[in-house]
Structure formats: C-alpha cells, structure tokens
C-alpha cells in the first residue's frame, strides 16, 4: 500500500530527479577525466551519507534501524550505487555523457520487462508499441560508427545496459522492501553502504587515489555539486517517489534527463549531437511515453480519425 502523496513534495521531488539528475552526467564526465571512477563515486556517496546523518542528528531524526532494514539498504545500495552508478561513471571514460543519458532513457522499457518477468504484469497494447519504438531507438543510437568507434566504447555501452537492469530490479525491490520509513535516513544508509563497497572495488582494482588538494577547480566544483544535489537532494527525492508513486512513473525522469545531458554536454564539453542521435532520441522518448501513458490505443485511433 502506497503512502498518501503530498503534491508539493511530489512536484519538487520530480524536479530533482528530472533536472538535477540530468546534469550529473556532465558533472561525472568532468570528474572522471581526472579521477579514477570507483574512487570518485565512492568518495561522493560516503561524504553524502555522512552529511545526511549529521543533518539527521541536528534535526533529531532517529537513525536506528532494524537488521533487516540495514541488509535491504545494503542490497539496494549495491544495485543503485555500487554497480548501477559506479559502472556508469566508469563507462563515461569511453562514452559521451549525452550518449550515456540517451541509452539510459530506455530504462522504462527494462522496468516493463522486469515487471512482466518478476510480477507477471500484463503488457498493454500501447506499451508494446513503446517497446518496439524503444528497440528501434536504441539500435539507431548504438549503430553510429562516429560515436561508437572502438571496442571500449562498445564495452561501455554494454555495461551501461547492465546498469539499467540493476537499477530496474532495485526500483522494483525497494518499492516493496522493508527499508527505513524516513526517506532521508533510507538514503543515508544506501549512500554509506554503497559508497563503502565502491571504495572496496577501487582498492581491489588498484585505482590510484589522489588528495582533493591536488584536484583541479572544475573537478572540485563537480564533486561538491554531485554530493549536495546529485546525491543528497536527488537521491532522497528518488527514494521518496518510489514509495509514493509507481516505479514506471519514477522512470519517466528519462524523458528529461537525456535532453538536459545532451545540451550540457554539447555546450560545456563540445560533445557531438548527430542527426541520427536526435532521431534516436525522438523515437526513444516517444517509446517511453507510450510505455507510461494511461490512454488506450483506441483513444489515439479516434483522435487520428477526427483529425483527418
């Protein structure tokens, strides 16, 4: 049973996951040009988690949770942050930020299949159209030789797809799991556990850690923005939305994220926006709309007949 919605909070939360998360592709791309990816992501989430618990202490929010809740937070922290985010950051070493965001815009398609396989949810006729459009859009996106030019780029594209599966399963899991009822505390535990696992991965892979005193100004600014807005604000909003609206609706952030990421990557990093990418974006986002729309196919057929 979903909790009652506060409309103002829902709107603000959607703004955070739509707009702020759209900018994190650019910020991660800036930071990963100088810092090793798993160290970068690990430090980001550990610091964000610590700040969340400090704020919770100041606000006198209880942070004690049950063993089951801690285990669930750790599992979700792995799905969302250790694998789902850490590997995307790694892939950004080889893939443009806008390209990555466009690929991830197919997330509702992955969630739809997950709900079919794990929950037996029937796929509506409009969703079937959306799936077809989504597959076409992804094909157009990844078939561009000028953007997918070497083996590591292809590996990056494939790993981002695996991250989408991880995020999709995590979204369905956390919607029904026993996690802390306070969204702020829930986020904090996911950040701490997910960040700790990222730093462990960084150590295992032998990444070379560097002192923040040696980071350039753009990287420092990117990290501050990622920690405060990308982690604390947006991720808390994400966890809140998963409890008060359906996972498919939360996944509609993929309408806006790629557009913001494409424009920011083009403006600040001179990333290429090809005609084929624009066409792929239009087809993908149309497919996402059809997956999430509540209107039936008959509605559009009637509208088409009236307009003729």
Query: Do 156 and 148 meet the contact criterion of CB atoms below 8 Å apart?
Result: no
Spell out the domain ranges in the chain. 8-307
Structure tokens at 215: 């980071």
User: Does the pLDDT at position 32 exceed 50?
Assistant: yes
Give the rounded distance of the alpha carbon of 38 from its chain centre.
Answer: 16
Joined tokens for residue 7: 């409309």
Cα dihedral: 37, 88, 253, 65 (round 10): -70
Give, in degrees to the nearest 5, the angle at Cα 173 between 114 and 178: 160
* Model pLDDT for residues 34-71, shown as the tens digit of each residue: 999 999 999 999 999 999 999 999 999 999 999 999 99
- Is residue 177 over pLDDT 50? yes
Pair of tokens at residue 29 = 């791309």
The single residue listed with the structure tokens 């950051």 is 89
Rounded CA-CA distance 65/62 in Å is: 9
Q: How far apart are CA 51 and CA 252, in angstroms?
A: 28
Q: What is the rounded average pLDDT of the residues 275-298?
A: 78
The per-residue pLDDT for 294 is 64
pLDDT digits (tens, 9 = 90+) for 119-170: 888 777 788 888 888 888 888 887 887 777 678 988 999 999 999 999 999 9
The chain-wide mean pLDDT, for the chain, equals 87
Nearest to 223 by CA among 36, 40, 38, 33: 40
Highest mean pLDDT (candidates 7-16, 70-79, 89-98, 272-281): 70-79
Task: Give the 3-state secondary structure of residue 74.
Answer: helix
Q: For 213-250, write each residue's pLDDT tens digit.
A: 999 999 999 999 999 999 999 988 988 888 888 776 78
Separation CA 71–CA 209 (nearest Å) = 29
DSSP H helical ranges for 59-182: 67-77, 86-91, 97-104, 107-119, 125-142, 151-176
What is the value of pTM for the model shown? 0.84
Tell me the two tokens of residue 240: 């809140």
What per-residue confidence (pLDDT) applies to 295?
A: 62
Residue 95 carries which DSSP code? S
| Per-residue burial over 178-209, b = 16 or more CB atoms within 10 Å of its CB, e = otherwise | ebbebbbbbbbbbbbbbbbbbbebbeeeebee
Percentage of the chain with pLDDT > 70? 92
What are 78-92's pLDDT values in tens digits?
999 999 999 999 999
Lowest mean per-residue pLDDT among 7-16, 171-180, 296-305: 296-305
Count of Cβ atoms closer than 10 Å to residue 211 Cβ = 6
* Nearest alpha carbon to residue 156 among 209, 95, 215: 95
């Amino acid at each position: 049973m979903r909790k009652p919605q506060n409309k103002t909070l829902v709107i603000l939360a959607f703004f955070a996951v739509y707009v702020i998360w759209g900018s994190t592709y650019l910020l991660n791309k800036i930071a990963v040009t100088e810092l090793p990816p798993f160290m970068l992501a690990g430090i980001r989430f550990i610091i964000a988690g610590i700040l969340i618990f400090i704020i919770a202490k100041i606000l006198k929010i209880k942070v004690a949770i049950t063993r089951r809740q801690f285990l669930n937070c750790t599992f979700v922290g792995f799905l969302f942050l250790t694998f789902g985010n850490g590997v995307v950051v790694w892939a950004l070493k080889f893939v443009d930020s806008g390209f990555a965001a466009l690929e991830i815009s197919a997330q509702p398609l992955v969630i739809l299949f997950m709900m079919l396989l794990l929950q037996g949810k029937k796929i509506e006729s409009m969703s079937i159209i959306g799936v077809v459009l989504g597959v076409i859009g992804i094909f157009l996106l990844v078939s561009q030789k000028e953007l997918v030019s070497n083996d590591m780029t292809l590996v990056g594209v494939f790993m981002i797809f695996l991250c989408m599966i991880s995020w999709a399963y995590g979204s369905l899991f956390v919607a029904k799991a026993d996690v802390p009822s306070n969204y702020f505390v829930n986020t904090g535990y996911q950040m701490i556990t997910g960040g700790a696992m990222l730093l462990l991965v960084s150590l295992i892979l032998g990444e070379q850690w560097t002192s923040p005193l040696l980071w350039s100004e753009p990287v420092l600014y990117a990290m501050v923005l990622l920690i405060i807005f990308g982690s604390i604000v947006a991720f808390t909003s994400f966890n809140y939305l998963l409890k008060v609206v359906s996972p498919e609706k939360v996944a509609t952030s993929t309408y806006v994220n790629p557009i913001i990421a494409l424009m920011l990557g083009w403006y600040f990093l001179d990333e290429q926006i090809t005609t084929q990418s624009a066409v792929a974006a239009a087809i993908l986002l149309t497919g996402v709309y059809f997956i999430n729309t509540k209107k039936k196919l008959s509605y559009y057929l009637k509208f088409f007949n009236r307009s003729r």
